[in-house]
Amino acid sequence: MEKILLELCRERWLTRNEISILVRRNPESLRQRYTKPMVEHGLLRLHYPEKPNRTDQAYTTVLEDH
């Protein structure tokens, strides 16, 4: 699932609801099991990092420096 989320969020912002529709998962379960841990581990970043619980929060992949 993490690989799928990284691919979906690559080079664009997606909200939790948009992601949940694409992967057919419950938005809250998706947040608890995947997006929150992925943000904590530096795999995804928040569009509004100062407000992590914002209802329109969006995610994108963290680009690696080359």
> What stretches of 1-66 adopt beta strand conformation (E)?
14-15, 44-46, 58-61
Range of the domain at 46: 2-61
Could you count the other beta carbons within 10 Å of the beta carbon of residue 52?
Answer: 11
pLDDT in tens, 10-37: 999 999 999 999 999 999 999 999 999 9
Residue 66's pLDDT band, with cuts at 50, 70 and 90, is: very low
- The first and second tokens of residue 5, run together, are 């989320």
Q: Please count the structural domains in the chain.
A: 1
Residue 66 lies in a domain: no
Residue 9's pLDDT band, with cuts at 50, 70 and 90, is: very high
